[in-house]
Amino acid sequence: MEGECRAPQARSSGLPAGGAGGESPGGDAPLSGSSGSSALLQAEVLDLDEDEDDLEVFSKDASLMDMNSFSPMMPTSPLSMINQVKFEDEPDLKDLFITVDEPESHVTTIETFITYRIITKTSRGEFDSSEFEVRRRYQDFLWLKERLEEAHPTLIIPPLPEKFIVKGMVERFNDDFIETRRKALHKFLNRIADHPTLTFNEDFKVFLTAQAWELSSHKKQGPGLLSRMGQTVRAVALSMRGVKSRPEEFMEMNNFIEIFSQKINLIDKISQRIYKEEREYFDEMKEYGPIHILWSASEEDLADTLKGVASCIDKCCKATEKRMSGLSEALLPVVHEYVLYSEMLMGVMKRRDQIQAELDSKVEALTSKKADTDLLTEEIGKLEDKVECANNALKADWERWKQNMQNDIKSAFTDMAEENIHYYEQTIYYGPIYSSCKEKEEMI
């Protein structure tokens, strides 16, 4: 919890902007620290008609109260003042560049798995060197995500791509699947690097710098199996108990998450269906070009016409393939990432509620005098600070995440619209040629 309450360390800059591996990191927009009177945040939210055949995106008012951690309503005890620190503006210049590349297959007698090379370049003083190169497998990324959630339960941790895939969609070690996962892992690490708090997490530093045996040794230093089981049982008990009264701002936040989850899942479903139909159309169309070429060899009178039709089909195939590439690279990954984000947000809200439920149970025990009142009073004081710290961390990270979400989705749909415009400009030109050839073919 300590990492959520302190202001991020000042970053030094010494590397040129641009990234280490040619692929721009999935950077988050900086959180702007604001002070003064409360204001309503007007958020653009994706909305869809209930009829899935009609995809409609419009601006919806999903205002939430301004969640300024320096509100005068907050307690003013020394510890509370520490907890009220909000994320500062991030510097314009980056000082940590991460690239994930060169997937490599490993086959053992027990299992087959893929590792990825991770190159880190930095000018931060807490690193022993300016450049590191390590290899990590998916389980290592999963370990990092879990440690970040343990250290910062109410910060919004970037999502990892799923470990398992839908049966029949793609093979586990298919080249396309490996490349898609590599890009997702690259974005995962760079989103952490761009986060004002997570970027200074010690486990993140170890993940980027330690060799395989060092990382394995570091993993063993965490809580043991029995301790983790105890934490899980307590978390389940608290989640079953629930919270008596969730603050209004978190009720609004939870409602936003539920609506967002429904809409983004529907967009993901429709986008995947569009891509599938586009793929089927492309596969069918590309067979017609060679057929017309073969046909022209046996029909001298139709040869020029048939070759013209084949040429138009070939150009349309290329334009369609380019549009499919834009759909699979620009839109689908962004939409699916935010599907995973919606699941992560639900987990964050659940962990916040568990912290509050623990406080509620202690207050209830004190009221009924079921235990030592002095001890309970001390525990309640600590839990109140813990709840306040967790709430402030979530509120600050929430606004940051919403701004990034709006920018990412807007950019993805804008890029896709430009791809479609370019596609139709090309196919409108080829269309009349194709139609003219077909008319000549029918006349003959």
- The helix, strand and coil proportions of the chain, stated in percent and rounded to the nearest 5, come to 60, 5, 35
Q: Are 151 and 171 in contact (CB under 8 A)?
A: no
Average pLDDT over residues 41-57: 44
Q: How confident is the model at residue 421 (pLDDT cuts 50, 70, 90)?
A: confident
At which of 223, 256, 289 does a domain end?
A: 223
> pLDDT of 319-347, one tens digit each?
888 888 888 888 999 999 999 999 999 99
> Do 437 and 311 belong together in one domain?
yes
**Closest of 411, 399, 400, 267 to residue 329, by C-alpha:** 411
* Per-residue confidence (pLDDT) for residue 40, from 0 to 100: 38
Whether 287 has a pLDDT exceeding 70, the answer reads yes
Give the residue among 211, 197, 103, 107 at the shortest CA–CA distance from 157.
197
CATH of the domain at 217: 3.30.1520.10
Query: Can you give the CATH number for the domain in which 334 is found?
Result: 1.20.1270.60
d(Cα 269, Cα 263) in Å, to the nearest integer? 10
Distance CA 332, CA 323 (A): 12
Percent of the chain with pLDDT over 90: 37
Residue 83 lies in a domain: no
Q: Is pLDDT above 90 for 123? A: yes
Q: State which of 191, 223, 255 marks the end of a domain.
A: 223
Alpha carbon 102 to chain centroid distance? 22
In a domain, residue 146? The reply is yes
Length of the chain in residues, anyone? 444
The per-residue pLDDT of the chain, averaged, comes to 76
Mean pLDDT calculated for residue range 370-384: 74
What is the tens place of the pLDDT at every residue in 241-265?
566 777 899 999 999 999 999 999 9
Q: Are 122 and 95 in contact (CB under 8 A)?
A: yes
Task: Give the pLDDT band of residue 203 (cuts 50, 70, 90).
Answer: very high
If asked whether residues 140 and 263 sit together in one domain, one would say no
165 — pLDDT class (breaks 50, 70, 90)? low
Least confident of 71-80, 396-405, 435-444: 71-80
pLDDT class of 48 with cuts at 50, 70, 90: very low
Phi, psi of 369 (to 5 degrees): 55, 50
Looking at residue 406, its pLDDT comes to: 95
The more confident residue out of 134 and 361 is 134
d(CA 255, CA 428) in angstroms, rounded, equals: 45
Q: Does position 32 have pLDDT exceeding 50, yes or no?
A: no
- For residues 265 and 124, membership in a common domain is answered with no
SS3 105: strand
List C-alpha distances in Å: 172 to 102, 114, 268, 379, 381.
17, 10, 21, 49, 50
Round to whole Å and give the CA distance between 433 and 440: 11
- Mean pLDDT is highest, among 39-48, 105-114, 191-200, for 191-200
- Is the confidence at residue 89, as pLDDT, over 80? no
Query: What average pLDDT does range 211-235 have in this prediction?
Result: 68
pLDDT at 268 over 90: yes
User: Distances in Å between the alpha carbon of 440 and those of 46, 282, 310, 391?
Assistant: 47, 25, 14, 72
Does any domain span residue 231? no
Is 246 found in the same domain as 219?
no
Which of 265 and 289 is assigned the larger pLDDT?
265
Residue 251 sits in the same domain as residue 178: no
Please classify residue 389 by burial: count the beta carbons closer than 10 Å to its beta carbon, then call 0-12 exposed, 13-18 middle and 19+ buried. buried
**pLDDT value, residue 23:** 45
Segments forming the whole domain that contains residue 372: 236-443
Question: Are residues 219 and 248 located together in one domain of the fold?
Answer: no
Residue 2 has pLDDT above 50, yes or no: no
